[in-house]
Amino acid sequence: MLFDLEAQLADRSEDLAARVFLGVGALEEGQGVPWMERFQMVTNVRSLEQRLKARRYPSLELTVHVFEDETHTSVVPAVVTRGLRQLHGR
């Protein structure tokens, strides 16, 4: 869904005036957990990062962080705290 929304935005505008933080746990993919493998969380975050960078939106401030040793559940506090600090100052 995010890829579709981003494509629609790109069709309407050449800029994205936003500060975006994308965070994902490294253990959300590739750890042999069958029900998680289908979501490809790390791959999707990296793909969205590359797509946004390729658009070269002049006003976009993009930060991406893969949290080592974090799972889909354990990454939540790290993403929230790091994201808030990144987007709103330390």
The residue ranges of every structural domain in the chain are: 2-88
Q: Is 46 left (phi over 0), alpha (psi -120 to 50) or beta?
A: alpha
The Cα–Cα gap between 47 and 50 comes to 5
pTM over 0.75: yes
HSE-up of residue 74 (Cα within 13 Å, Cβ side) = 10
Could you give the angle at the alpha carbon of 87 between the alpha carbons of 85 and 90, nearest 5°? Answer: 30
pLDDT tens digits, one per residue of 60-71 = 999 999 999 998
Average pLDDT over residues 62-89: 93
Average pLDDT value over all residues in the chain: 91
